[in-house]
Amino acid sequence: MAVDTTETLKTIAEKSGMYIGTCANLQAIENDAAYVANITRHFNLVTPENALKFRVLCPERGEYNFEAVDKLVAFTAAHNMQFRGHVLVWNDQLPHWLLNGNFSRNELASILVNHIETVVGRYAGKIPVWDVVNESVDELGHFKKTFWYNTLGPAYIEMAFEAAHRADPAARLFYNDYGVEGTYEHENGVYRLLQSLTYHHIPVHGVGYQMHLSLEHTDRKIIGSLNTQRLADMGLECNITELDVRMRTGEGRFPQQYEAQAALYADIARNYILEKGCNTLILWGFTDRYSWIPFFYPGEGAATIMTEQYTPKPAFFSLLEELKKKI
Ligand code: XIL
């Protein structure tokens, strides 16, 4: 079958007003022309994989290094892409000065608020959407005992959204989490959190579902199960924010599994884009060349829609086909 070369993920997504995105690193953009050709061809949204993480941005207290983010913001602006800010408040990738600082409640609250005001304020008008708080609820629906929670309690979540809103009143602010589709309790915990934030008029505009899926562990039946309607009823948007589908990469295991992977990518697009009306779908990388999976899940990989050589896999085409149905 001849491949229509004018069709890209981006051109199809834009016909229905959608954002199709990927995380990215400046290093690949600066050193890999094929990477740039593909990212600009297929995506109209980019989020930094690590450049906005607290430890990367502020390794020493009070010393921010904005260079990589500035360059990424300029890159997206030059290519008409939306820049999504990821992530302001998380338990991971925190700087050592913060982790080892033994800060009091008041000190930590002011560090949190200052960080958010500094970062969001700098990019006000340039970064229209933020993942403000990441991974606060566990699979039983309880607040995770994170670095921030242990000193500030659940109030850190409200503080974070309010600070982000003060710093850029026009920005759209998201709560982001992984594995929410995994248990009913997790989903309910996230729902209760958003219900409480909304009830207290905390500025929050949506929920991001990461969707780091695995051929081995993800039950296809649960993928479309999230009840986004009850969030929509509270005026909240839903986005898919970090989709990838990993597989075991041992001898003889892949690429035989590419078809099964393609089915999962299509499931997500069908359920969340077509049926539940999400308008933003972000992949956690689009080429196996730079995917985080082999480092974090030894023995697994091949999680993205293109090979290391940028050859589109069946998942690329299945995703494209689903996006077309939205037009
Ligand atoms: C990951 C990056 O991909 C890695 O490069 C980094 O070492 C660790 O973080 N959920 C998130 C993302 O919200 O920020 C994580 O990104 C993946 C899981």
Please give the structure tokens belonging to residue 53. Answer: 């993480």
pLDDT at 251: 78
Separation CA 96–CA 119 (nearest Å): 19
User: Catalytic residue at 135?
Assistant: yes
Q: pTM score > 0.75 for this model?
A: yes
List the catalytic residue out of 135, 187, 237, 322: 135
- For residue 101, give Cα distances in angstroms to 53, 90, 154, 162: 18, 17, 20, 24
**Cross-strand bridge partners of residue 240:** 209, 281
pLDDT at 254: 77
Positions in the chain short of pLDDT 70: 1-5
136 Cβ closer than 6 Å to some ligand 1 atom: no
- For residue 29, give Cα distances in angstroms to 57, 68, 83: 19, 11, 15
pLDDT at 279: 97
How crowded is residue 237: how many other Cβ atoms within 10 Å of its Cβ? 18
**CA 286 to centroid of ligand 1, rounded, Å:** 14
Atom of ligand 1 nearest to the CA of 176: 13
